[in-house]
Chains A and B, each alone.
Chain A
Amino acid sequence: MRELGLDERSFFSLEKSFHVYIEKYPQAADRLLSVALFFDNKANAHMADKYNGLVIVMHCVVEKDRFIATNVTTRVAHTSVQTNWRRPVDLTFDLNVKRGMPVPLDVLSLIHEMPVAQESSVYVKKRIASWEGYLKIQERHADIPDMASRYSGLTFNGDFSRVTITGCQLGEKEWKSLKDLSVKLKGIDKDIGKVLKANRSARTVEVELHGYMEEEARQQRLHMNQKEVVFSNFATVSQVKRLRQGFKHLENGLAANPELERLLFENKPPVRAPKRQARLQFHNHLNEFQQEAVIGAMSAEDLYVIQGPPGTGKTTVISEICLQNAKVGLRTLVASQSNLAVDNALGRLLANKDIRILRVGRTESIEEEGKKFIEENVGQYWKDQTQQEVFAQFEACKKRKTELEAEWALNEKEQEQLQPVLAQAERALEVKKVAQKEFDEGQSFIEEQKKDVPVAEQKQRAARQQVQEAEQALRSLETSIEQDETFLRDESDKGALQKEWESAQQLMQRLHRVIACDELQEEINRKKQNIDQAAGECEKRATEINQTDVASAKIAAVKRIDGLKWILLEHYIERSLRAEQLLAELDCIRGELNQFTKLKAYNDQLNRAISYVEQLFIRQRVSIDQLKQRAGNGASSYRADEIDHFLDELRKAVKQNPNIDVRTLGDYLEGLYRRRHFVWQKAKRLKSYDHYKETAIETFRLLKQEMIHLLQQKQQMNKVSCQKFLQVLEEQRAELRSLQSKHQQMAALQEWIANAKEALQQNEKKALHLQKKKEQYEQVERRIETNRIERLEKAAQLKGAEQKLAQLETHLKELRDTISRKEEELAPLHVILSTQAEREHERVLKHLASLSFTRESLKQEKQKLPLFQSVQEKWLSLLEKASDHDLDEIRKLYVKHANVIGTTCVASARKDFLDNYPVFDVVIIDEVSKATPPELLLPMLKGKKIILVGDHHQLPPLIGNDTLEETLQEMADESEDFEGKVELKKLLKESLFERLFKNLPKSNKTMLAIQYRMHENIMAAITPFYEQESDRLQCGLTDSDLERDHLLESPLIQRDNHLLWVDMPNEPAFFEERMKGGKSLYNPAELRRTGALLKELDEAAAQAKQAGRMKADEKKSIGVISFYGEQVKRIDRLIHQELRLRHLTIRTGTVDRFQGMEMDVILLSMVRNHHNKQDDIGFAKDYRRLNVALSRARELLVLIGSTKMFTERTKQADTRNMYTHVLEAAKKQHGLRTLEEVTQHE
């Protein structure tokens, strides 16, 4: 900053706040977020002033509370400050760090979200590298330095379009690189032209002169004293420079549309969806596809692509879009690859005061159609246009005045006439209203009545049913009564039945009594048995008592327990719980006593043994105390058998050896001691023998006592029971006695009847039957009675129901009558109601309203008209007298407000143009498929919205005079290692336009599918080229034969011929030839044929004039085209030098040059014809070239060439098919002409 001669403080005090563009640097993990601040050198006026407009760039690190400037640099004044990678912001700087205020969040988030400039640039760089190839082609000769040479003379050709510079002195290498260089003569400011051909051996250079040089040449102003020529490639270099600059601009984010690079390079272009479909009023007459295209283009946000096959009215669409844009105040750039195309497009724009067209470019390269739009002419153009329009309107106004009067009068008359009509209509309306009311009332009455009908009908049905039911009931009653009466008649008397029943009852009573007597007898028998049983029981109890007494005595006497147990078993005495316990106790005592005896026995044995052994010891005088003591200490346990065994062993040992040694004896003695000790120990646990004995005696006594107690209890019970039985016996005997007396009484009263029970059952059955019969009889009698009464009731009911039914029927009939009467009454109202009185009334009112509206507008017009007249008259007179000065003023206004600017793609990147028109709202590029992507980029950079118009089924870009394929071939020949070749080939296969068209969504593209140029028969030849598209190519001409009548009749051509193929035999006499020292081909036979055909056409035109089909001063426009330049050249010479064709205007050119043009008649010389197996048909292979060739003619297309060559000898099947289709189309239209036919007519 010091270098800039300013300290911080004074720099930042230059402006209150700075308009700054922030650029973000790439972020890295190890680095702080950093940005560059570009200080706008326009918005910051003081700063700009101070630093002479330099752009100041401050590189900063961004922290939360501050920007830390790390470096400050400057850029030259014209550096672009605003780019798509930077974001504008107004910053106020606070130099006081201590305040520690944070950087506003908005700024931080802006920085956070913005793209990194470098990354965006790298993205573009990477993608755009694929376009490098185009530049490489154009740059081939860019590094050639200017070459100067002396020359000896200039010779011009016939029409001063070329000059040959003779006697040039150039180096060997220089000669080679001359082609296409621009040529300058010393002494003349401008270039005179560019090199066409250099001939080193003749030392001549042929130069194609620029158009504006013709005049100079004719005035011989090119003959200079100092003969020096300079060849330079300045033009090429500057062109390539502009293209490169385009790349750079895209890289630096300078496109008007910030998304441009993505739209161009992404596989799926990220177009923004249209916000809404524009609603438009069209000014041109547009078909559905054209309308779709215009609406689409107007609605699109960023990119729209229109595919326009030949003659489909692309220019009309462009014109409409320009006008629509103008209407909404948008400025449009119309760009195209060639000047011709730009001028064509502009020339066909609708003359409308809202459109102000300005053609920008080098005046000398602008065609006639575009000339009126160049800056110096727009004043005049405007004046002419305005004058014309004002005049037309002025004249119209004059006429209008009288018309107006007439219209006024007519209007008044009509209004008057309408008044009575209105009155009538109102009357009719009134009548109808009344009728309506009446009708409505009547109708509602009818409705009401009608509602009653179903009710009445329902009632009627019910009544009818009632009648039927009553009748039915009556009938069934009758039958029932009848049946019952027969029954009564047939059945026996009631009294007999009663008697029979009574006798049965008496018999039954007797029987009952007999049975009761029998039963009593049985009872007596049973009682006797019972008494016997009870006596038996008594006896049993008495014996039991005796036995128990015996047992008690036995028990008291018993002394031993076993005896007691035996008594218990003997007398089945049950042991009580207590008895069981006592018995167990006794058993236990007995066990203990046994043990005691056993131990005593062992003790005696042992004592004996011990005393024996002790004596032995004493004999030997050995002490035994120690042994005794030792044995007393141990605590061993022994079983009985073990002790027995030990004693046996001792006995044996003593017996065998009476002198047993002391030691062994000691062991024995100790063993004896031990065992005795064990026995003692065991005995110690037992109680004394007497104790056991006492206890046993006591227990036994208790047991006996218990037993006796038990027996006593039993004895008691037996005694009680015996007593009870005796009592029962007594009772039974008393009962028996009473029964026996009762039986005796009964038997005396009653005679006995055998089988009384059976007789009683039979009698009961009979009595029951009789009872039932009696009841039935009574029932029938009762029933007859009730039925009779019911019959009377029912008869009365039936009568009532029948009456009711009759009443209902009459009511219903009345109802129906009323309805039909009312309906008849309403019928005449229908006629009135069916009249359209309202509509008529409305119509009259509407008519009146429109009349008064018209009247109002007429009135206004009438008022305005005189003013218009006088103003316009004055205006016209002023316009007529407009001077150059006036036009100049107008020109200034016009240029300022120009809203449709036309220029070529490359010219749109010229410095002055960039300055004047940096940005356009809309950029329309026409003939897109003919421009290379780098060329297209230049106008695209300038457009916020881009509309591309082209047709990828027509030819791709030309470079110089050559097609891209040719140039590529040439470059491949020159050097093998041409880098961009692969990329270019890919691009050639699918152009930018084609790719965009295929990949864009439906909302961003349209194909114009209706063509108006060609007769439908000609169109038939090219339809296959468009079959892949979504819409088929259609012919928009309503009557092709009428609208595309070529009016000619000749031996070869009939009026209804529109597509002809004049066949050339595939024979040597008709073969192609190669130009000497060149590569281009020509065909002399076809040349002759073309000449002859032109003559024939000329004559035919003359005849057509004679016959009055053509106007006398009219000329048929004919284009003669060929795939090969050399053939075109020869045709051209032929036409100019050898033919005089008074009735034709002819243009010639290669197929490629003719793209975009149209003619009434086209002759296509196809040239290729040979027998060479290695060779093919060259350029004619490309379907796009054939498409262009076939689609130039409006009325008549004549192909001149070998059918065999193109449909059979061609190598690729696709190509053969393509030409076969054309041939078939021609044949179908009777348009094939063979050599025989042709020569016949000559």
Chain B
Amino acid sequence: MNKLKKRLRATLLENPAVQIKESVMWNLPVVTFDVAFKRVKRSKMDILMKMLLLAFEQANIRRAANLSEMLLVEELFIVDLIEKMQRMGLIHLEKEGYKLTQKGHEQLKTGIIDEEMEEEWTVLFYSPSHDKFWPAMTEPVPVTEEELSLYRYVNNQDLINVDRMLKILAERENRMEENGFQTVVDDVKSFNQRMVQHAPCLEFRMYNKEQDIFYARVWNTWLERWDDALEKQIEEQERLEWREKWTATAEFSE
């Protein structure tokens, strides 16, 4: 940890105009969730085409405009798709409207039936201070000798819900299969907050003499980057105090 700190200090001080007025270390809480979810195997037929097939099955529709009115979808899209489906031999035009062909019926059947898959589990990491899900840590947290305090501006609002979980899982777990199928996260069965992990952060309080500005630099060991969100939170709260404190002492010492 000290090594890291030294390296960062050196980088920061490459600019001769800056001073590090102070530096501290603390832990940022990262919440771990155990999530149980279910994926389904589904035809790759896209939803609009599926919807059109369903509509043709259900009602007599001759004109794309009618569908456009019903689905609130651009007529051009529908015209395009109708042409495509006619080409593919899924539908054909009869007296009272478009009707599904044998092939169309079959495709629709496979299209609307989801093949359920086994329930799966995964772990998600969430930083309340950023309100963001984080990937798993790639490198182990550096060891610290001292006991670190928690980040002083932790946000304790509970902003997590199933939809957000589903979205993040979909991003990570949806797959394209062969044979015209895709596997899609369909449902979050359950999620449990398991434990809170701590991500150590190194905070430097900086002063640029040339520009007469104070600012914060926070190294986030989990993300391995200077963390702008945390810097901003700290600056907003403390920047004026810093100026008072160090400008006064500077004046005093001069």
Q: Which residues of A approach B to under 8 Å, CB–CB?
A: 153-160, 164, 166, 214-215, 217-220, 223, 353-354, 356, 386, 389-390, 393, 867-868, 870-872, 874-875, 878-879, 881-886, 889-890, 893-894, 896-897, 1133, 1136-1140
Contacts and interface: CB of A to CB of B under 8 A. Distances in A.
Interface in B150-180: 170, 174, 176
A220 to B, nearest CB: 7
B117 interface: no
A217 B77 CA distance: 43
A890 B52 CA distance: 14
A393 B71 CA distance: 10
B47 A871 contact: no
A649 B159 CA distance: 188
B211 A220 contact: no
Nearest to B78: A893
B59 interface: yes
B11 A223 contact: yes
Contacts of B76: 897
Nearest to A202: B16
Contacts of B48: 886, 889-890, 893
A868 B61 CA distance: 12
A158 B70 contact: no
Given A871-B71, A879-B47, 17 more contacts: A153-B14, A156-B15, A218-B226, A219-B223, A219-B224, A386-B73, A867-B70, A871-B54, A872-B71, A881-B184, A882-B47, A883-B170, A885-B174, A886-B46, A893-B77, A897-B76, A1133-B211
A1042 B86 CA distance: 59
Contacts of A897: 74, 76-77, 80
Contacts of B81: 893
A356 B46 contact: no
B85 interface: no
A456 B193 CA distance: 119
Nearest to A394: B72
B54 A883 contact: no
Contact of B226 (A160, A874, A885, A890): A160
A393 B70 CA distance: 9
Contact of A871 (B55, B208, B225, B226): B55
B67 to A, nearest CB: 9
Cβ-closest 9 pairs across A and B: A155-B15, A889-B46, A158-B215, A219-B225, A218-B226, A878-B47, A218-B225, A153-B14, A389-B72
Nearest to B232: A159
A1162 B72 CA distance: 42
Contacts of A896: 80
Contacts of A393: 72
A870 B51 CA distance: 11
A1138 B243 contact: yes
B182 A885 contact: yes
Contacts of A883: 42, 170, 174, 182, 184
B225 to A, nearest CB: 4
B40 to A, nearest CB: 9
B186 interface: yes
Nearest to B84: A893
B44 A158 contact: no
Given A223-B11, A1140-B240, A885 B51 contact: no
Contacts of B226: 160, 217-220
Contact of A158 (B55, B74, B213): B213
Nearest to A867: B59
A882 B182 CA distance: 12
A881 B184 CA distance: 9
Contacts of B147: none
A878 B215 CA distance: 49
A323 to B, nearest CB: 13
B72 A386 contact: yes
A159 B15 CA distance: 14
A218 B227 contact: yes
Given A223-B11, A1137-B243, A1138-B243, A875 B211 contact: no
Contacts of B186: 881
B14 A154 contact: yes
Contacts of B11: 220, 223
Given A158-B208, A867-B58, A883-B174, A1138 B240 contact: yes
B92 interface: no
Interface string B224-243: 11111000000010011001
B72 A390 contact: yes
B125 interface: no
Contacts of B126: none
Interface string B86-122: 0000000000000000000000000000000000000
Nearest to B163: A880
Given A154-B14, A871-B58, A878 B50 contact: yes
B17 to A, nearest CB: 8
A931 B46 CA distance: 43
A890 B243 contact: no
B212 interface: yes
Contacts of B213: 158, 1133, 1136-1137
A867 B60 CA distance: 11
Nearest to A1139: B240
Nearest to B79: A897
Contacts of B212: 1133, 1137
Nearest to B46: A889
A894 B77 CA distance: 8
B70 A353 contact: no
22 contacts: A154-B14, A158-B213, A215-B225, A218-B225, A218-B227, A223-B11, A870-B58, A871-B58, A881-B47, A883-B170, A883-B174, A885-B44, A889-B46, A889-B49, A893-B48, A893-B77, A893-B81, A896-B80, A1137-B212, A1137-B213, A1137-B214, A1140-B239
B206 interface: yes
Contact of A220 (B49, B182, B225): B225
B46 A885 contact: yes
Contacts of B80: 893, 896-897
A884 B14 contact: no
Given A219-B224, A220-B225, A1137-B212, A390 B71 contact: yes
Contacts of B208: 157-158
Contacts of A893: 48, 77, 80-81
Contact of B70 (A157, A159, A871, A1137): A871
A855 B186 CA distance: 44
Which of A159, A160, A882, A885 gathers the greatest number of chain B CB atoms within 10 Å?
A885
A159 B240 CA distance: 17
A611 B246 CA distance: 196
A633 to B, nearest CB: 148
Contacts of A354: 74
A885 B72 CA distance: 21
A883 B185 CA distance: 9
Contacts of A881: 47, 184, 186
A157 B18 CA distance: 10
A149 B171 CA distance: 43
Interface in B5-51: 11, 14-15, 18, 42, 44, 46-51
A1140 B240 CA distance: 7
Contacts of B211: 1133
A353 B182 contact: no
A220 B8 CA distance: 10
A218 B46 contact: no
Contacts of B59: 867, 871
